[in-house]
Amino acid sequence: MMEGHDNKSQEIFSKILRAGRRTYFFDVRSTRADDYYLTITESKKHTNEDGSAYYKKHKIYLYKEDFARFKEIFDDVTKFIIDEKGEEIISDYEPKENESLDAKEEENKGDDSKGDSDSNSFTNIEFEDI
């Protein structure tokens, strides 16, 4: 086994996008052969009945040979959505009865503040830097 490498892939570079109750992690990692690939992880906060929080995570592994096709399809799909529905956020989200006002306030907290925490903003993600 090479120095600095173990069974886990090595993290090289990361970016984080916070979007309401979801957080997206874009992580560049290194393979055993010392090549790079991208993982995109969605982490969504949920609340147990007792009020404690837990996170559900979903991960996508994206390898260099798929970057161009992934970007092309991603661009086509996002352009279709914007062309069909515009950039205005339309939500039919209805909070569950047991969801507290504090949780709603926490979710909307970023609306009047500066920074990346505004859940109503749109962040264009470019894959050209990958």
User: Exposed/middle/buried for 9, CB within 10 Å: 0-12, 13-18, 19+?
Assistant: middle
3-class secondary-structure state, position 109? helix
Of 103 and 126, more confident: 126
95-118 per-position pLDDT tens digit = 555 555 555 455 544 444 444 444
3-class secondary-structure state, position 23? strand
Output the average pLDDT for the chain. Answer: 77
pTM of the shown model: 0.59
Complete domains list, the chain, with CATH: 10-112 (3.10.450.700)
65-84 per-position pLDDT tens digit = 999 999 999 999 999 999 99
